[in-house]
Structure 1
Amino acid sequence: MTATTLSKPITSPSIAEQIRPIAEDRVILHNVSWQTFENLLADIGDRRKTLFHYLNGTLEIMSPLSLHEGSNRFIDDLIRALADELEIDLRKLGSLLMKIPELKLGAEPDSCYYIQNEPTIRGKEVIIVGQDPPPELVLEVDITNPSDRRLPIYALLGVPEVWRYDGYSLAFLALENGEYQLIDKSLSFPDLPAAIIVEYVQKRLTLGESGTLRELRKWVRANVVRGENG
């Protein structure tokens, strides 16, 4: 596994000159107590569209807009198709609330996946990260603003890998010595180039989602030996 610093450009062309569309509404609140965070979760409940991230008294509230949610859900479809074609057992848990009260931290990713530990949590309807292992893969879609402030939370939760999609490129990040480093190949899908995901996310706008998923499956069958990653 080859690691680099997070300051290294991920793909070209550079996104520095791109005008970023509005894809998420975010509110950052400071000096929020853990009890206030817990009360907020209890009062609002699960039937909401907002996602919360909490660490060291800072609460981020994110409301995804259509561009964000469309990208998130289609990448989720691509991951499921990849797992099916490669015969990898996978459990999707979406925006699973992961919190550890003892550390006063909590996170709700755009999407998350159990892969190696899928057999461990297969029969469980209620997953409690901290008592149960964290998901092996978290997907973060951050088209308007970077998600750097969330990475320390996932590191403390022990999430081994984060995929970060910014609308133009996809980065694979691996947890090493308590911090995330850019890696060339995904830990979960080592035969998958990041550019392929970006290519098919864009293709769905012309081929349609179902047609694009069929094209991805054809690509996997032609380029990846089935069962190598299982």
Structure 2
Amino acid sequence: MTGAIAPKQHEHVILHGVCWSTYEALVRDLESEPAKRLTYNQGILEIMVPLPPHEQYKKRIGRLVEAATEELGIELASLGQVTWKRQDLEKGLEPDRCYYIQNEPSVRDRSDIDPNRDLPPDLAIEIDHTSSSLDRLVIYAALGIPEVWRYDGEKLTIYHLFKGAYNPQEASVALPILSAEDVLRFLQARQRSGENAWLREFRQWMRAQLS
């Protein structure tokens, strides 16, 4: 393994010349360290330790997604921050949150999901509060994840995969009742109330949209 190490704001380390077997070994070794996030793209490995705002944002967006599916009466399978990797592409990463929604029946009650043979999650959440040094959207696209919500602490963008590339969209495809503007408005409203009160307000809003 060769190359320079380039830390960024004390939470990023970049390693060059990392072989696939080394990446897989690190994924296994760090399974008990969920605070560390690995991104791999054709020999380049980024190790990131997210800061507290990153963890807060991903949990808040996750609660909105989960509450929305409950109010819509649809099922989902939440895989959290599971690693998605494919050796044939030499790419891998951990979304901050990922969900099967439309394709939930295909993975229900399964513990053997394999990115090489199974459909990818319908939706991934990407918190970009401290920008990754690698282009993670390129990796998501190669893995075939249809939709990514990306939040940088100020702006939320919904990307939909079309012909191998992501295009910004006003509204979600996985959860069509939600627009980027709606999700952002509730993320900003979280600062004005407690978390449970905030989630009740979101549920009330959802019911009003559905009535």
Q: Same fold (TM over 0.5)?
A: yes
**Residue range with higher mean Cα deviation, 60-69 or 155-164:** 60-69
Deviation of 1:40 after TM superposition, in Å, equals 1.6
User: Is 1:131 the equivalent of 2:93?
Assistant: no
Deviation at 1:48, TM superposition (A): 3.4
Quote how far apart the aligned CAs of 1:176 are: 0.9
Q: Does 1:170 align with 2:156?
A: yes
Pick the aligned partner of 1:213 from 191, 199, 209: 199
- The 8 Å contact of residues 23 and 65 in structure 1, kept in 2 or not, is answered as no
Give the CA deviation at 1:146: 5.8
**SS at the partner of 1:132?**
coil
Secondary structure in 2 aligned to 1:180? strand
SS in structure 2 of the partner of residue 199 of structure 1: helix
> Aligned ranges for residues 92-131 of structure 1 at < 5 Å?
92-131=78-117
Change (3 A) 1:172 1:220: same
2:42 aligned residue: 56
Sort the Cα spacing of 1:60 and 1:24 in 2 relative to 1 into closer, same or farther, 3 A. Answer: same
> 2:175 aligns to what?
189
Question: Normalised by the size of structure 1, how large is the TM-score?
Answer: 0.83
The one-letter code of the counterpart of 1:198 is L
For residue 24 of structure 1, report the CA deviation from its aligned partner.
Answer: 8.6
What is the RMSD of the two structures over their aligned residues, measured on CA atoms?
1.9
Q: Distance in 2 between matches of 1:23 and 1:77?
A: 29
Give the drift of 1:156. 1.1
For each residue in 1:167-202, what CA deviation from the matched residue of structure 2 results, as whole angstroms up to 9, or x when unmatched?
Answer: 111101011111111112211122212122122222
**Partner amino acid, structure 1, of 2:141:** A
How far, CA to CA, are the matches of 1:24 and 1:118 in structure 2? 38
Equivalent in the alignment of 1:70: 56
TM-score, with length taken from structure 2: 0.90
Give yes or no for contact 1:164–1:172 (8 Å, CA) kept in 2.
yes
Conservation of the 8 A alpha-carbon contact between 1:23 and 1:67: no
Structure 2: gaps (5+ residues): 1-7
Distance 1:88 1:220 in 2: 14
- Which residue does the alignment assign to 2:66? 80
Residue pair 2:39, 2:134 contacting (<8 A) in 1 also: no
Distance 1:208 1:36 in 2: 43
What is the deviation of 1:85? 0.5
Aligned-residue sequence identity (percent) comes to 43
For 2:173 and 2:33, the matched residues in 1 are separated by: 32
**Aligned residue number for residue 39 of structure 1:** 25
Contact 2:46–2:133 (Cα < 8 Å) also in 1? no
Which 4+ stretches in 1 moved above 4 angstroms?
A: none
Q: Which moved more, 1:194-203 or 1:158-167?
A: 194-203
Aligned length: 204
User: Where do 5+ consecutive residues of structure 1 fail to align?
Assistant: 1-21, 226-230
**Distance verdict in 2 for CA 1:89–1:147, change over 3 Å:** farther
